[in-house]
Structure 1
Amino acid sequence: MSSTTDVTGDTRVDGSVTIDAVTHVYGSGRDSVVALGPVSLDIAAGEFLVLVGASGCGKSTLLRLVAGFDEPTDGTVHVSGRPPTPGVGAGVVFQQPRLFPWKTVGGNIDLALTYAGTKKSERRIAREALLERVGLTGTEDRKIWEISGGQQQRVAIARALAAENSLLLLDEPFAALDALTRERLQEDVRRVSHESGRTAIFVTHSADEAAFLGSRIVVLSARPGRVALDISSDLPRTGIDPDELRGTSEYAALRAEIGHAVKSAAREN
């Protein structure tokens, strides 16, 4: 994606991310914990970067820094050439859905579409398309507490896809889903990222998920998280059936390389 327009009307937004010598520390004094860093990454516009590593290695911390929810202790993060602003320029999907419980499924989607600037006359069609994409057709009028945790997470994914942001940040969004739904949404997110050209950063524990989704895969070491492996994937992103792709020797080799790196990195420090 070479250019898009954010909510401020700025047309320079391209979705590139620059992480320069970033370190993040939780707490202070004797109780302080160095969670991350130093980490430096240049993520090109349109790239699908997967962050993978063992629990506690700083994957989610790094994602929060890119989203602008936290500030690095040292170093800098820039999105499209400037410091990130929470809620601007990126759609975010967390490990937990974080939906508005007083609204219906459709109401949650409509709110996201409203913030995205979708005209009122166009919201119904847009809402139905988003719900169909995540496998929730016909659930518009259901209350949030009436659907399962996995379905709630699918609503959260649809909400993040509502805006044509240049950057999509996903923090293990498929962990609570059944295997078939998880694979379907992996395919959807992979396709949407490619077709729209939006940049994506995806956090996972799974070497298999990283191999399937990533155009680039970064493995983080044990805390404090540092880059242990940074590789690009040559696997085709279009023109091949997902099941066929998963059955290739190239896919198996990439998955094995990532899995080995994750295990080795978890033993570091």
Structure 2
Amino acid sequence: MSSSELTQATAGAETGPAGSVRLDHVTHRYGRGGAAFTAVGPVDLSVPAGEFLVLVGASGCGKSTLLRLIAGFEEPTRGAVRVSGAQPRPGEAAGVVFQTPRLFPWRTVRGNIDLALRYAGVNRAQWPERRAELLARVGLEGTEKRRTWEISGGQQQRVAIARALAAENPLLLLDEPFAALDALTRERLQEDVRRVTDLTGRTTVFVTHSADEAVFLGSRIVVLSKSPGTVALDLPISLPRGDVDAEELRDSEEFAELRAEVSHAVKSAAAA
């Protein structure tokens, strides 16, 4: 094989469908020596582009660890993680929303969004249009001039989601973003995320410990066993997506059956 052919072959190995995720025999350990422990693994998982995957399991099963590995914030102890066919790089592989909004309190809503647009390399002349589009997507029109401490917790998390969407990465990662919110706000934001991801077609990986949230959001659910987390259940979700009535969906018999199946799997995996 010539050097040019070798270069082309290597480049081909580092490409894949935009937003796709693949974990091959991934194991991750923390600590060294006698204090070391395995958080997850081995895990083999393939997430096609455009899928909404929910990782669900009891606390401490390694859900957030897997998300950090996919984001490129950490590297696996063994195995390989690929996003769009390449090793993920922090800040480039995906937009990330954490459990807390992590906004800059001295900036307005506008300032937080503009900072994300700047880091995303968006031309400054396009900021007003892109900002308005992002805020409209998360239902925050008219809040541009307000400080982050002047808006509710749910609105702050919407700003965080808008900020994560600013770079137009084909992959969106969310780590229990609604855990600290009241039930009503949580349901509304679940509906927002479902709608936004359906509209944008982004691959989404969402971490939760709630079977109800997992079934409502996901087109596929993976239940993790207790630490070290491995795949205990891989379940496709056939509930309708797109323009659906959220309350009708939550009240459906199929939803109740899937929620019971996932809840039982989480409890069984945690007890095993």
TM-score by length of 2: 0.89
Partner of 2:137 in structure 1?
133
Partner of 1:246 in structure 2?
250
Partner of 2:29 in structure 1?
25
1:112 aligns with 2:147: no
Could you tell me how far apart the structure 2 residues matched to 1:105 and 1:234 are? 37
The CA deviation string for residues 31-74 of structure 1, in whole angstroms up to 9 with x for no partner, is: 11211111110111111000000000000000000000000011
Question: How far apart are 1:88 and its partner, in Å?
Answer: 0.6
Question: How far apart are 1:135 and its partner, in Å?
Answer: 3.8
Q: Quick check: 46-55 or 92-101, which moved more?
A: 92-101
Partner of 1:3 in structure 2?
none
> Are residues 239 and 143 of structure 1, via their aligned partners in 2, closer, same or farther at CA, if it must alter by over 3 Å?
closer
Q: Choose the corresponding residue for 1:215, options 213, 219, 223.
A: 219
1:162 aligns with 2:169: no
The percentage of aligned residue pairs carrying the same residue is 70
The CA deviation string for residues 154-180 of structure 1, in whole angstroms up to 9 with x for no partner, is: 221111122211100000111122323
Could you tell me how far apart the structure 1 residues matched to 2:179 and 2:145 are? 25
Q: Please tell me whether the aligned partners of residues 113 and 131 of structure 2 are also in contact (alpha carbons under 8 angstroms).
A: yes
Aligned length in residues: 259
SS of the equivalent of 2:240 reads coil
Partner of 1:266 in structure 2?
270
Mark the runs of 5 or more structure 2 residues left unpaired by the alignment: 1-13
Q: Please tell me whether the aligned partners of residues 138 and 158 of structure 2 are also in contact (alpha carbons under 8 angstroms).
A: yes
Could you tell me how far apart the structure 1 residues matched to 2:248 and 2:154 are? 26
- List 4+ stretches of structure 1 deviating above 6 A: none
Partner of 2:3 in structure 1?
none
Partner of 2:76 in structure 1?
72
The CA deviation string for residues 107-150 of structure 1, in whole angstroms up to 9 with x for no partner, is: 01111122333333332233233334334333322333334444
The CA deviation string for residues 4-38 of structure 1, in whole angstroms up to 9 with x for no partner, is: xxxxxx99651111101111111111111211111
Partner of 2:240 in structure 1?
236
Q: Please tell me whether the aligned partners of residues 13 and 166 of structure 1 are also in contact (alpha carbons under 8 angstroms).
A: no
Could you tell me how far apart the structure 1 residues matched to 2:70 and 2:262 are? 23
Partner of 1:188 in structure 2?
192
1:43 aligns with 2:47: yes
> Are residues 77 and 11 of structure 1, via their aligned partners in 2, closer, same or farther at CA, if it must alter by over 3 Å?
closer
TM-score by length of 1: 0.90
Q: Choose the corresponding residue for 2:91, options 81, 87, 90.
A: 87
Could you tell me how far apart the structure 1 residues matched to 2:242 and 2:268 are? 31
Larger-Rg structure: 2
Could you tell me how far apart the structure 2 residues matched to 1:180 and 1:96 are? 18
Mark the runs of 5 or more structure 1 residues left unpaired by the alignment: 1-9
Question: How far apart are 1:183 and its partner, in Å?
Answer: 1.9
Letter of the structure 1 residue corresponding to residue 206 of structure 2: F
Q: Please tell me whether the aligned partners of residues 138 and 196 of structure 2 are also in contact (alpha carbons under 8 angstroms).
A: no
Could you tell me how far apart the structure 2 residues matched to 1:94 and 1:59 are? 13
Partner of 2:7 in structure 1?
none
Could you tell me how far apart the structure 1 residues matched to 2:266 and 2:56 are? 7
